[in-house]
Structure 1
């Protein structure tokens, strides 16, 4: 039952934990796709975003909202272009805004003025009516609403909106696109991973030519699988040229940045990946799709909202709009410009562009560079290997504590990188790994280790204390009930005069007395890591060195024997209070080779020890009364527990043993022996030497002195009697100094 090493013991658990690490590593590098991990990572991203959003209102950007109030007061959408022209004039002339953007498409002509009907009449029924023609000529400029709207846009920093189509079945091209931000040939096309548009729906040519710029506003091609808008394309490709999003176009106007530069990894366009865009002095990080994460400021309402109807009527306080960046959009549910954001299911689409404008201006757009994958791999490997190696060695409480500490540390470091470095390092994978290894280890411990522990408890629980069962459970494979031979120490304890004691008590009292006696004796044996073999009436048989190997088995057995005697003295008051007689015990202890294992018959088995060394221990217990001592140990036990002081009692040849054995009484630890005891021991040792050299007369004098000094010592009386007998009948020159016992 040699105990195997820790790593060999927990090899299976560690190997399976490392398999979990490998699975998540493969998922991180893209060789294995775990769909739930992507969902969890999105969820972790959303939580971090919600925890760290400023939650304040950015007053630099104002949203002119075509809300329910505006629809009620100004009529259904779309409004006549002359009304929009009036709104543009009010915003720039009355409120002196900085930049205006439309999250609205003007792809169709406005026929709401009735001009087309009047033109038909002029060519038909009223063709010859000069007064009608004159009136129509005078009214025509005022009824050309698209021209009025275009005129209001001229020479003003206005950005129109349009959208690209990504449906190859339809490739429509409606309206006029703005000039691309990066024309074809100004960049290496295969090094830019921008989405390629198949068609577009843009604004009327006269409107687009009048406006300063335009940007696409559709982000739906990059919507995540769960329907949440987390990022927006900043550039999309059409016919080999790159076009900018509405937010980027407005930010460029605000910052007076004429161009957009492409920033590659390593600073060269020959690099594999595009890393960021340079807009003026701002660096805007992008991913492989040339998309940026939306730097959400908070829930809807993080920017100033004013009703479009109030703007038309100039009812908005001047300080709200003066110098502002203005976006015209809608929150009216019927106009279907609501999106799902990480922190809100119904989120106004116009605020997506507001967030992007603010993020570009403030450099708050977070990035997820390519090297983050390497960092994730290192963290997963470090965390996984550490937990795989350490958790099997820990108790459930400490394993839980370590896992919580590591998870908390991972979250804290991740949030610090998120906030201080503006970097997004995957979080869910690390937390899932910690949780998975923890749950696996706890499950393994419960279903495998605890099963082994229950088996050990069933096999050995009646013999050894619970703490030894726990220790054995650390290596259950090292213990069995199969017989084997090893050096051990056995202890026999018996109550002296038990027959007389039992005759004076009734059955109930006798049972109670034995329970009150055996329980503390057993506790002492267990406290010294002993194994209870059996109770034989009033007798106790115990051994050390099995099932748990113990190099200190002899020392523990001797100490247990002395503590049993001390415990018995402590019980005297308890026995006296109950009217029970006092109890004296004899204890025999022997060390030697024994056979230990499950022995018995097919009807009943017991984990016990057998052999000559066991029999000698039993004989020694029987000699305690003869020598008037409570404990007798053999010379073999003395040799194995040399840190105790002993009094040599005799050299005896017990029944069934051919060779004599020296026997001793343990007096206590050598280092704790009292001076008076040392003096007595020296005096007795001198008398014993005289006895062994057959100097009978001098020995008789010495033992007589010891008898007078210690009248209660049965040992000195025994030797004084023997010496007198040997004076009369000398044992002969071939005497080996031993005393032979003919009975057990």
Structure 2
């Protein structure tokens, strides 16, 4: 289904009306003592009787307001189109002409009662010369009652056409009542297509005349306006076609009392004004004082509360059908609509859409769009959310300020939609871009590191790359002992399975168990490192733990291989820690993420000399220092090929906390034996080695040092011997 542009515009307009209503609801109402609503409420109906009341009661209410309370003006949100026959005078008059015609004195008595029982006459008498405005309505199919004098007519417009809401029909007040009152005002409501009341006509056209609504008429009476005239901003020749279509009437000029400067009342299209709804409406709405009509009739209201005030008489009682749907309340008292308009007139503050509103809104859209488009493109998700929220809050805040302080009615839905759109687009693009980066990262590192590390890296791909850098790392080399002999003793198929099982086990121990980075396979050898691309402070500890695990896996595999009739499996592992160069290295044809440097070369040498000492693992002294939680057996001080400085090498055994008493005893004896060798105390060293061989006859290290002692006895090393073993081969 294709969505038309009109629907999209309508959606924006609906959003604008929503925000306009929200803006009104956010304004805290301030009670205005100048306007008081006399409410025909449930209390009044309970005390006085069902509504509508007879005109005698209404006359008493008018007299109370005007004579006793001396109000400035009273506007009745009520129409009196029919004569009031509730007094019974018509019945008495009929009896005087018929059945009671011959009763002496009956006719004269009825005539004497006529004035007292003429309720319309009583009301007219109460209205005469008082500041009371009667309400009336327009109608399409009738003309009933009498209209008050119009403010102006089409004749006074000098040929201009001023569109306005209205009709040729009306439902007005009885002639005698309208003639007695100060004037009259229309109270017809004008709702938007969604049924919500947001605007009100200030003038409506009936025939050739322009008549005020109840709010404007009541304000005029209260201010004792001597005239209200239309004001045009331009001559007809200067107006655009659109302006001519609306007549060019932009305000009404109310000449108040003896003031020389008239009060200007702006009007919009069709002579309407925006209603500024204050509070939530009703007696507890907070904007206007409500008093019960019953209390006014009984004189129970304090005089200072009503004196010199503008009074609106209406009803909030349920069932009397004077509740309107508005932006602030779906059941807003109709009488309070007039109160809000009167307050705007008295305060000379009108909510208007200024002529430059389109320009402000255009700048607002352009500025927010530019700021967000530039900023969100380079910001992380959380700052992006905060910025978008801050900009949206700023737009709403500016709009709220313009409404409350400047009385400008501005639209902001388009700007907010733009903010949301740019943010969503940025998030979608960022997600797409990050997914691509994440996939690229997975593709580049997935073969090297454990899946959970790849997932961690994909969460923040900006932190990881393959660029070269120097870092403290730990490298590991592992090789199969006697692989040439193994390969000669197996068929190609068996050899493939042999090496695949071995490499799989070693790779899983490296990559999955302790999150190492698998560098490469070099025939039967495996190279790995810890600390890159994901940095670990405990990279040495992870590497040592992995080497012990790999030896355990090799022993398990060896049992399986021997059971299959395959050659036994033994491996040697070399570990070293230090500063290494890590990154994507190689040629244009082939590249790999690997490590290089002297510390790497030493790790490789250590793997090669494990077979010399008859141990499964050899680590450098930096690794031992960086992983102190393990127990180690010092093997020697060595000078490997390509390095002049000797290094101490060690065999990790087990976690220090898991070392048994027998193992501790053996390690202590070995430490003593090694010290005796370096001190050239051959007899003591041989005695200690003999004890150690009795404890662990299979350990080749003890036999190696026994042979060295025999060599040194035959060829004394001299007093300046440093105890270092130099290796001339790799």
Please classify the TM superposition score into its range, dividing by the shorter chain length: 0.5 to 0.7
- Of the three residues 20, 26, 39, the one matched with 1:45 is 20
Residues 494 and 227 of structure 1: CA distance in aligned 2, closer, same or farther (over 3 Å):
closer
**Aligned CA distance change for structure 1 residues 119 and 383 (closer, same or farther; 3 Å):** same
Aligned to 1:307: 292
Residues 547-583 of structure 1, C-alpha deviations (whole Å, 9 max, x = no match): 999xxx9999669969999x96531235676344679
Aligned to 2:92: 118
Match of residue 319 from structure 2: 334
Q: Which digits, 9 at most, give the CA deviation of each residue in 1:579-611, with x for residues without a partner?
A: 44679999xxxxxxxxxxxxxxxxxxxxxxxxx
- More displaced stretch, 450-459 vs 392-401: 450-459
Post-superposition Cα deviations, 1:154-198, rounded to whole Å, max 9, x if no partner, equal 111111100113xxxx42111111111122222367653421324
**1:495·1:583 contact (CA, 8 Å) conserved in 2?**
no
Aligned-partner Cα distance in 1 for 2:622–2:114:
121
Q: Mapping of 1:385-424 within 5 angstroms?
A: 385-424=370-409
CA separation in 1, counterparts of 2:66 and 2:234? 44
1:544 Cα deviation after fit: 3.9
Any idea what the Cα deviations from partners look like across 1:451-487, whole Å, max 9, x if unmatched? Answer: 32442233113348869966996899x99xxxxxx99
CA shift, 1:112, in A, is: 1.2
Root mean square deviation, CA, Å: 5.0
1:149 aligned to 2:134? no
What do the CA deviations read for 1:672-703 (whole angstroms, capped 9, x no partner)?
Answer: xxxxxxxxxxxxxxxxxxxxxxxxxxxxxxxx
Give 1:91 deviation, angstroms: 1.8
CA shift in 2, pair 1:189/1:511, >3 Å = same
1:285 touches 1:366 (CA, 8 Å); kept in 2? no
CA shift for structure 1 position 103: 0.6
> Which residue among 275, 294, 315 is the counterpart of 2:275?
294
- What does 1:200-279 correspond to in 2, within 5 Å? 200-219=170-189, 222-264=190-232, 271=239, 272=243, 273-279=248-254
Deviations 1:319-350 (A, max 9, x none): 22222211111121121112223333322211
Q: CA deviation at 1:104?
A: 0.3
Displacement of 1:82 in angstroms is 2.2
Structure 1 residue 109: Cα displacement: 0.8
1:188 and 1:585 mapped to 2: Cα distance?
A: 116
Cα 1:538/1:225, change in 2 over 3 Å:
farther
1:430-449 alignment runs, 5 A limit: 430-446=415-431, 448-449=432-433
Kept in 1, the 8 Å contact 2:324–2:334? The answer is yes
1:627 aligns with 642
TM, length-normalised to structure 1: 0.63
Question: Is residue 69 of structure 1 aligned with residue 37 of structure 2?
Answer: no
How many angstroms apart in 2 are the aligned matches of 1:418 and 1:425?
8
SS at match of 2:269: coil
Point out where structure 2 has 5 or more consecutive residues left out of the alignment.
Answer: 256-261, 483-501, 519-527, 536-546, 548-570, 605-618, 646-719
Which of 350, 355, 375 aligns to 2:335? It is 350
| Structure 1 CA distance for aligned equivalents of residues 235 and 463 of structure 2 | 58
> Does structure 1 residue 97 correspond to structure 2 residue 71?
yes
Mapped partners of 1:584, 1:373: distance in 2: 86
Matching of residue 522 in structure 1 with residue 529 in structure 2: yes
Unaligned runs of 5+ in 1: 1-22, 480-485, 501-506, 529-534, 587-623, 631-708, 719-742
TM-score by length of 2: 0.64
Q: Distance in 2 between matches of 1:248 and 1:560?
A: 93
The alpha carbon displacement at 1:39 in A equals 3.0
Can you list the C-alpha shifts for 1:246-300, whole angstroms capped at 9, x where unaligned? 0111111122223334445568895415443333443333332322222233232
- Write the distance in 2 (CA, Å) between the matches of 1:559 and 1:434: 55
In structure 2, the partner of 1:377 is 362
Question: Aligned partners of 1:348 and 1:262: how far apart in 2?
Answer: 30
Q: 1:579 to 1:262 in 2, by over 3 A?
A: same
Q: Distance in 1 between matches of 2:474 and 2:59?
A: 111
Q: Call closer, same or farther: CA 1:473–1:268 in 2, change over 3 Å.
A: farther
Kept in 2, the 8 Å contact 1:176–1:204? The answer is yes
Q: CA deviation at 1:34?
A: 3.7
Tell me what 2:698 maps to: none
Cα distance, 1:516 vs structure 2: 8.0
Structure 1 residues 519, 124: CA separation in 2 closer, same or farther (over 3 Å shift)? same
Residues 577 and 75 of structure 1: CA distance in aligned 2, closer, same or farther (over 3 Å): closer
Does the 8 Å contact 2:66/2:131 carry over to 1?
Answer: no
SS of 2:185's equivalent in the other structure is strand
Q: Please give the residue correspondences for 1:597-676 in structure 2 after superposition, counting only pairs within 5 Å.
A: 626-628=641-643
Q: Answer yes or no: is the 8 Å Cα contact 1:99–1:324 preserved in 2.
A: yes
- 3-state SS in 2 of match to 1:185: helix
Task: Report deviation, 1:37.
Answer: 2.9
Q: Secondary structure at the match of 1:312?
A: helix
- Number of residues of Structure 1 aligned to a counterpart in Structure 2: 549
